[in-house]
């Protein structure tokens, strides 16, 4: 069979490499993402994560927990102010304090692929509108820059992260068995993705969920994000 007769996939003749995300603030209604800085964020983040004395938020990450704010600050200074991973502190508007961390990583601008990860949501951030809005802000930035694919990966045993991926509109792709050794334990990695063709509908769902009319006078959501995504998927 001649090579010209073999299937090759959709042609992308106009494709060009995508810009890398900038170290710049991303702002929403409930939170803002600021490039992670040791002097600005370490104390607040250590205090917020210390509210989880069992250290469960660090279980599936390759680092943490940290003994004190100075150790956390040193960790940031020694390797986590670069451009990949590109770390952000999640600052909720209500308190004005950093309550969590998220990052872009494995940024492949040539292929248009980017990952969201290194998620650390303190107890004060977990299950809040600000937490979900932080993911929305990262997704919006990635697709606004023209990336074709955004990935979410987590330990296959991390049930909350796997549920969150689906709630945010990612699709499950499979499990890479024995993908890594983390803190002396085997890690099977669950893969999720979202592609640019799916993003417009997901964006509309996020913005419908974030609209002021979806929240009562106390700030409680009327319709949960996961329910909005399910309704959208069902047409």
**pLDDT of 130 over the 90 cut:** yes
**pTM of structure:** 0.94
CA distance 79 to 75: 7
Examine the pLDDT at 3 and tell me if it is beyond 90: no
Nearest to 63 by CA among 47, 82, 80: 80
Lowest mean pLDDT among 15-19, 24-28, 136-140, 230-234: 230-234
* Residue 160 and residue 141 in contact, taking contact as beta carbons nearer than 8 Å: no
Reported as a single tens digit per residue, the pLDDT across 146-160 is 999 999 999 999 999
Q: Per 3-state DSSP, what percentage of the chain is helix, strand, and coil (rounded to 5)?
A: 35, 30, 40
Give the sign of the dihedral formed by CA 63, CA 182, CA 135, CA 55. negative
**Pair 114, 85: CB distance under 8 Å:** no
Q: Do 64 and 76 meet the contact criterion of CB atoms below 8 Å apart?
A: no
Q: Which residues contact 17 (CB under 8 A, 6 or more apart)?
A: 109, 110, 112
How would you class 156 by CB atoms within 10 Å of its CB: exposed for 0-12, middle for 13-18, buried for 19 or more?
buried
Mean pLDDT in residue range 31-50: 95
What pLDDT is attached to residue 235? 53
What does the pLDDT read at residue 80? 74
The predicted pLDDT at position 234 comes to 65
Stretch 17-34: mean pLDDT, rounded?
A: 96
């Amino acid at each position: 069979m001649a090579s010209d007769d073999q299937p090759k996939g959709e042609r992308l003749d106009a494709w060009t490499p995508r810009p890398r995300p900038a170290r710049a603030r991303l702002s929403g209604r409930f939170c803002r993402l600021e490039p992670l800085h040791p002097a600005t964020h370490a104390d607040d983040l250590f205090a917020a994560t210390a509210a989880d004395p069992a250290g469960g938020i660090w279980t599936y990450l390759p680092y943490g927990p940290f003994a004190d704010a100075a150790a956390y600050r040193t960790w940031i200074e020694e390797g986590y102010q670069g451009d990949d991973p590109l770390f952000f502190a999640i600052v909720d508007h209500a308190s004005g304090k950093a309550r969590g961390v998220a990052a872009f990583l494995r940024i492949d601008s040539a292929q248009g692929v980017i990952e969201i990860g290194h998620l650390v949501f303190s107890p004060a951030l977990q299950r809040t509108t600000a937490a979900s809005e932080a993911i929305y802000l990262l997704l919006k930035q990635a697709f606004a820059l023209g990336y074709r694919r955004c990935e979410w990966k987590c330990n296959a045993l991390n049930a909350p992260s796997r549920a969150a991926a689906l709630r945010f509109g990612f699709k499950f792709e499979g499990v890479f068995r024995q993908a890594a050794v983390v803190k002396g334990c085997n890690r099977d990695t669950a893969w999720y993705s979202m592609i640019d063709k799916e993003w417009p509908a997901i964006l509309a769902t996020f913005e419908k969920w974030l609209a002021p009319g979806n929240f009562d006078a106390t700030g409680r959501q009327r319709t949960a994000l996961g329910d909005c995504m399910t309704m959208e998927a069902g047409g």
